[in-house]
Amino acid sequence: MNAVPRSLPAPRDGRTKEQSMVKSGTILLTGVAGFIGSHLAERLLEQGEEVVGLDLFDDFYDPRIKEGNLTRAREHDRFTLVRGDIRDRGLLAGLPGSIDTVIHLAARAGVRPSIEDPVLYADVNIQGTAALLEFARRREVPTFLFASSSSVYGNNERVPFHEDDRVDHPISPYAATKKAGELLCHTATHLDGITCVALRFFTVYGPRQRPDLAIHKFARLLASGEKIPMYGDGSTERDYTYIDDILQGVEGALRYGRGRTGGFQIFNLGESRTIRLSEMIQVLAEEMELTPRIRRLPAQPGDVLRTYADITRARELLGYRPVVGFREGIRSFLQWFEHQPGNLGAPR
């Protein structure tokens, strides 16, 4: 994290000393302490970028996990951490100058919990995105990357999902908030000339995966000898995308966005292959050398039947080339998982 010399005089504009140290060409990365954000921060810092990371450390899952996620990023002197809420417009206004790109990952994630509390999801994901776009407009930030989701496709019957498919039939509040975020980005491009890139992530997994997501949750249950809840008959399919491949796609999108003046574009970031739920459980159990015990439950509202990305556009315009096979990715996840303290796994 940025070390601030003791002799530095306090800035007079209300910013902290730490904030005043930030140099030009800085990336504002929201949701920096989360699963994807913390990996992305490390990658950007390794490439010489200046990163201001913003995160609320909310309790969707244990904030101690998020503190741990940032251990490596904080070793860089080009990293500044700001603790706060993306909806806090006063805080945004006080962020350090010369931000040339916003990468907006902060959100209430998760399909099923959004059904329990749609108002909170709309508040964080829609109001928060609007506040950040307003920040970008006021500060003349030219480039804005937005973390959208494959969930916007709902139960789209045409596969693989293409960016030009109609996405006006979301089946969860979470999906609706992501679609709303894309619309707000489009509007900001139209009105303010901001180059906006919406990235539709397809079920991301790997080290630090959120503890509420299936692979991580099932690994925890397998390790403790408990039954795995399988919703439906196991035939639902997901395009599981390894975190390193997602990072490669975000890097491509960053180059793409910075290289343009204006314009709105959407990219699918998936592996463009599907794995059935039953197969996912089988591969995970095989790699853990355990026999899974399954508890079958009815299909859950909000869960789509399948996700499957057409990645032609990302291949052509971003040079995106996902390379990590599913079993290989599961092995990397397990190498990390086996070193996690048992008491920090469960979501709250």
Residues 182-241 that bind ligand NAD (CB under 6 A): 201, 203-204, 210
Picking from 204, 217, 219, the residue whose alpha carbon sits closest to that of residue 334 is 219
Q: What is the C-alpha end-to-end distance of the chain, expressed in Å?
A: 28
**Which range binds ligand NAD by CB under 6 A, 3-11, 53-61, 222-230, 336-344?**
53-61
Q: Closer to ligand NAD at the Cβ: 201 or 326? A: 201
CA separation for the pair 67, 72 (Å, rounded) = 10
Taking the complex as a whole, the smallest distance from the CB of residue 60 to ligand NAD amounts, in Å, to: 6
Picking from 112, 102, 192, 111, the residue whose alpha carbon sits closest to that of residue 147 is 102
Is residue 51 a contact residue for ligand NAD (CB under 6 A)? no
Taking the complex as a whole, the smallest distance from the CB of residue 293 to ligand NAD amounts, in Å, to: 26
Among 42, 85, 239, 310, binds ligand NAD (CB under 6 A): 85
Catalytic-labelled residue, pool 61, 153, 174, 205: 174
Among 57, 62, 112, 258, binds ligand NAD (CB under 6 A): 57
CA separation for the pair 182, 152 (Å, rounded) = 10
Query: What is the DSSP pairing of strand 275-276 with strand 237-238?
Result: antiparallel
**Which range binds ligand NAD by CB under 6 A, 57-65, 95-103, 137-145, 297-305?**
57-65
**Which range binds ligand NAD by CB under 6 A, 32-40, 279-287, 291-299, 314-322?**
32-40
DSSP track, 210-244: -TTSHHHHHHHHHHTTPPEEEETTS--EE--EEHH
CA separation for the pair 267, 176 (Å, rounded) = 18
Is residue 304 a contact residue for ligand NAD (CB under 6 A)? no
- Told to judge if 205 belongs to the known catalytic residues of this protein, a careful annotator would answer no
Instruction: Tell me the residue nearest to ligand NAD as measured from the CB.
Output: 34
Q: Closer to ligand NAD at the Cβ: 204 or 222? A: 204
Q: Closer to ligand NAD at the Cβ: 78 or 104? A: 104
Tell me the CB-side half-sphere exposure of residue 144, using CA atoms within 13 A. 31
Is residue 124 a contact residue for ligand NAD (CB under 6 A)? yes
Taking the complex as a whole, the smallest distance from the CB of residue 312 to ligand NAD amounts, in Å, to: 20
CA separation for the pair 260, 188 (Å, rounded) = 15
Among 26, 28, 29, 37, binds ligand NAD (CB under 6 A): 37
Q: Closer to ligand NAD at the Cβ: 42 or 85? A: 85
3-state secondary structure string across 167-206? CCCCCCHHHHHHHHHHHHHHHHHHHHCCEEEEEEECCEEC
The answer to whether the CB of 281 falls within 8 A of the CB of 294 is yes
Taking the complex as a whole, the smallest distance from the CB of residue 8 to ligand NAD amounts, in Å, to: 27
CA separation for the pair 241, 112 (Å, rounded) = 20
Look-up of token digits 């860089």: 76
> Backbone dihedral region of 62: left (phi > 0), alpha (psi from -120 to 50 degrees) or beta?
beta
Q: Closer to ligand NAD at the Cβ: 130 or 204? A: 204
Among 19, 26, 27, 31, binds ligand NAD (CB under 6 A): 31
Residues 62-81 that bind ligand NAD (CB under 6 A): 66
Among 19, 27, 53, 60, binds ligand NAD (CB under 6 A): 60
Query: What is the DSSP pairing of strand 264-269 with strand 79-83?
Result: unpaired
Where does residue 334 rank: exposed (0-12), middle (13-18), buried (19+ CB within 10 A)?
A: middle
Task: Please give the size of the binding site for ligand NAD, defined by CB under 6 A.
Answer: 30
Judged by the rule CB under 6 A, the positions of this chain that interact with ligand NAD are: 30-31, 33-37, 54-58, 60, 66, 85-87, 105-109, 124, 128, 147, 149, 201, 203-204, 210
